[in-house]
Structure 1
Amino acid sequence: MESISGKADHLVVLVHGMWGQPSHLEYLSKSLRESYDQDQIHILVAKSNANTYTYDGIETGGERITHEIEAEIKKIEESGTSIRKLSVIGYSMGGLVARYAIGLLYSAGLFKTVEAVNFTTFATPHLGVRAPITGKASQIWNVLGARTLSTSGQQMFLVDKFRDTGRPLLHVLADPSSIFIRGLSQFRHRTLYANILNDRSVVYYTAAISSTDPYANLDLVQLHPLTDTDSVILDPSHPVSHKTPTTPPLLSRLRSAATTTVTSIPWAFFLTVLLPVGTVFFLTSAGIQTIRSAQRRKLHDSGKTGVQVEKYRSAPFMVDELRSVADRVYNAAANTAGGEEYLPTPPPEEAEREPLVKGSRETLVEGKEVGDEAGGSEKWPTLALTKEQFEMIDALDGVGFTKYRVHITTVRHSHAAIVVRTPWRPGFGQGRTVVKHWVEKFVV
């Protein structure tokens, strides 16, 4: 956490992901600070949801982060500076936690006095982490994965029932009439960065909020990168197109087959020897962490951790319910004052934003995503997603995101590289290009 020494009225909140810790976002924080001093922005790297605390679920994590943001704003104001702007950045699962917190802040009325400026996610599973493939292997993964990461696993695999809705939390989080989408729509700029390759933690379709994956076989497509990004970031308006298929020469095919065989040997050893041993340790650890997570959530729900849970859960999370409560309070006050029995209730401010949330994709504001892969004429196979996931895509695209597809090729696993999670690691240079691009687009 930064010392409060500057006069910045813009609070920037960074939220890490699953199994994460504040140090994972150190490169993001330092890059921002190198461009903007303490009189321009105040940076809060959230720490209340670190390490195994991320097992406790998106709701619990979101409440912790909300409490942390409110406490930070109070501390800044006590130092003599008023916060007038807010930006929120989420990495991996941290993007989901951030979206939940934004809904709570919206419900609390924060955005009546604080301008929401930038919302950005890096490799965030907006649609969950369910494997969009039919078949036994996929079913086993979806079932097993949901049961090894405690509450967070159930929520990200879409098998939970959020409160009394009977729906998965992520589905509610993307409901156009929820405080979460209404809060998200307040931000002037909504941006996401999604790896198209080698992200085994958060695959492309869910990070990019897409029903297709044109990048499953890069030999069949032509990528269209932005200029001055070393071919790392694709043009959001036309990222990819079909390539005319060609048959490679025989020698090239033989070399490719030989390379595949050689590189598969370490993976064969991993799958047959190391994986079974690692699985035992992982499942044992997961069981222990699930028990500990349940204990932490019980303390959290009872209000014994310093977070005023009742404050966050007493308010309705659907805007229609909020309107209903407001109407009842207004009418009761009017009747008590002897006013006319049928005084009309003025339409709430949120109604003016309704076209943004529910409007067609063709009417989104300039610069925002149109359709799955911007460009219009290209057709791609639709993934085997659930009904809820398709609805989530429609709702989130309805709000409008600028989507930057990221092509990192210098590491086998791009999830950490996209935010330069460990700056000392070789091969993370392309991640620095991504962060540089984000900082340049950041609006103060």
Structure 2
Amino acid sequence: MDHNGTSQEAEHLCVLVHGLWGNPNHLEVMAKTLRQKYPAEQLHILVPKGNSGNFTYDGIEVGGERVCYEIEDEIETLKNRGQQIKRISFVGYSLGGLVARYAVGLLDSRGVFDNIEPVNFSTFASPHLGVRTPLRGWHNHIWNVLGARMLSASGRQLFTIDKFRDTGKPLLEVLADSDSIFIKGLAKFKRRTLYANIINDRSAVYYTTGIAKQDPFVNLGKIKLNYLEGYSDVILDPRQPVAPLDSEEPQFSIYERVLKSSQTTFGRLPFFLAIIFLLPIGIAAFTINAGIQSFRSTRRIKLYERGLAGIEPGNYRVPLLFSGMRDAVEGAFEGLNSSQSNEYLVEGTEEESAPDSPSSKSSSHESMEKGNENRPHDPPTLALAPYQFRMVQALDSVGWRKYPVHIHKVMHSHAAIIVRSDRKGFEEGKVVLRHWLDEEFII
């Protein structure tokens, strides 16, 4: 895939970062769509290659440093041929959104943003709060323990069981610390936009991709979805995404009702079916592969730390806080992850009523987000960990334009949201990309 462009006129660099188990080809349709709208004279596109495939096991820190290195190398290469980059944008898909946030902090701390203006920061289905299931119930505990140990460093970080350097905190909590280089760098972008699937995302559910402590889309049979004009059936209106269901006006087709029924009435069934049928084959294969890849990842990380992988990590180990402070494998992981059910806090519990909790303060400084305060119902608060509530508050403090996405014609919305492959079932993802380019992306 090569859509970066050959013109020396482009002053805007757009960096596309793929997700777990991913490679640059996953972003080919996105890159093509960008190029169709913006010619090479207007936009230079970079899709970093250093984290392809199993290299995504190596963790957000290592991945972010690799991306940072490729960006600086690209800017220097363009400069040597007479092209000056004056503006920069980031697009992160899935895990790539977290890797991009890490790279942004490094670039800002290294003074890159002193000469290059940060413009767009966009994420698609990125688990900003991690992927741990809110802890209520024995099967959720088991999944959070086992799942975290199957993906090497990336798994520990996504399930927030790691201790990042000498902070004593998970990397994702440091990434969302209001005093960190990462939040300070993120805040410098003109626009921060995220797209979050409300259903059928087996890798990253709505609360984490939408940076939310509530999920108003748990029971679609009891609400009416409000779509944005021109993007009907896919992009919800972020100001008021849901409304009370008009009983005289059916909301779902027969197919959708059957699908939703299978998701609610038999919501726990996939977990037990996975144990019965996948344990002998799929889970065994996944576990064996996870062990092999974790071993290889650990070895790569050791070489990387010693500067034997082509990058000197010491160049990127800046102070963290300014205040002193493949398909079968992926399918097995997604299948087990999607079998876990979210649990909720009881109204009035400590996490909800604490004076410094997110529920006691405004969730965003964006006018778009203020409209969400008047929703027609008040969904229960998810049983997130205390540090996840703090992450919501810190991330929302920089302001996001959040778009819930209703991809319902295909069961794999995590792949469809960015049209990960140009297949017929992913047309709804093209609507998402069209909205992003027409309404959100600033050139």
State the TM-score, normalized to the length of structure 1: 0.84
Provide closer, same or farther for how the CA distance between residues 42 and 374 of structure 1 changes in structure 2, counting only shifts above 3 A. Answer: farther
Deviations 1:376-427 (A, max 9, x none): 564110001000100000000101100000000111121000000011x221
Q: How many residues matched?
A: 398
> Paired residue for 2:42?
40
> Paired residue for 2:334?
none
Give 2:369's aligned amino acid: E
Q: Which structure 2 residues correspond to residues 28-427 of structure 1 after superposition, within 5 A?
A: 28-243=30-245, 260=262, 272-313=276-317, 315-321=318-324, 362=362, 365-370=365-370, 373-375=372-374, 378-423=377-422, 425-427=423-425
Provide closer, same or farther for how the CA distance between residues 256 and 61 of structure 1 changes in structure 2, counting only shifts above 3 A. Answer: closer
> Paired residue for 1:434?
432
Shift of 1:243: 3.5
Taking only aligned residues, the RMSD between alpha carbons, in angstroms, comes to: 2.7
Provide closer, same or farther for how the CA distance between residues 223 and 94 of structure 1 changes in structure 2, counting only shifts above 3 A. Answer: same
> Paired residue for 2:341?
none
Q: Is the 1:14–1:45 Cα contact (8 Å) retained in structure 2?
A: yes
Give 1:369's aligned amino acid: E
Q: Is the 1:92–1:121 Cα contact (8 Å) retained in structure 2?
A: yes
Q: Is the 1:231–1:407 Cα contact (8 Å) retained in structure 2?
A: yes
Give 1:38's aligned amino acid: A
In the alignment, the residues of structure 1 paired with residue 384 and residue 362 of structure 2 have an alpha-carbon distance, to the nearest angstrom, of 23
SS of corresponding position for 1:427: helix
Give 2:286's aligned amino acid: F
In the alignment, the residues of structure 2 paired with residue 139 and residue 229 of structure 1 have an alpha-carbon distance, to the nearest angstrom, of 39
Aligned-pair identity (%):
51
SS of corresponding position for 2:374: coil
In the alignment, the residues of structure 1 paired with residue 365 and residue 260 of structure 2 have an alpha-carbon distance, to the nearest angstrom, of 50
Q: Is the 1:8–1:40 Cα contact (8 Å) retained in structure 2?
A: yes
Provide closer, same or farther for how the CA distance between residues 111 and 368 of structure 1 changes in structure 2, counting only shifts above 3 A. Answer: farther
State the TM-score, normalized to the length of structure 2: 0.84
Shift of 1:268: 8.1
Shift of 1:220: 1.3
2:26 maps to which of 18, 24, 27: 24
In the alignment, the residues of structure 1 paired with residue 156 and residue 270 of structure 2 have an alpha-carbon distance, to the nearest angstrom, of 32
Larger Rg: 1
In the alignment, the residues of structure 2 paired with residue 365 and residue 161 of structure 1 have an alpha-carbon distance, to the nearest angstrom, of 30
Give 1:443's aligned amino acid: I
Q: Is the 2:5–2:44 Cα contact (8 Å) retained in structure 1?
A: no
Q: Is the 1:127–1:209 Cα contact (8 Å) retained in structure 2?
A: yes
Deviations 1:304-330 (A, max 9, x none): 1221210111x21111239xxxxxxxx
Unaligned runs of 5+ in 1: 323-357
In the alignment, the residues of structure 2 paired with residue 233 and residue 93 of structure 1 have an alpha-carbon distance, to the nearest angstrom, of 22
Deviations 1:224-279 (A, max 9, x none): 11010122000111112343789x9xxx9xx9599859x98999876533443110
In the alignment, the residues of structure 2 paired with residue 39 and residue 258 of structure 1 have an alpha-carbon distance, to the nearest angstrom, of 47
Unaligned runs of 5+ in 2: 326-357
SS of corresponding position for 2:192: strand
Give 1:98's aligned amino acid: A
Q: Is the 1:86–1:117 Cα contact (8 Å) retained in structure 2?
A: yes
Provide closer, same or farther for how the CA distance between residues 257 and 389 of structure 1 changes in structure 2, counting only shifts above 3 A. Answer: closer
SS of corresponding position for 1:369: helix
1:5 maps to which of 4, 7, 26: 7
In the alignment, the residues of structure 2 paired with residue 368 and residue 257 of structure 1 have an alpha-carbon distance, to the nearest angstrom, of 31
Provide closer, same or farther for how the CA distance between residues 260 and 384 of structure 1 changes in structure 2, counting only shifts above 3 A. Answer: closer
Shift of 1:6: 3.5
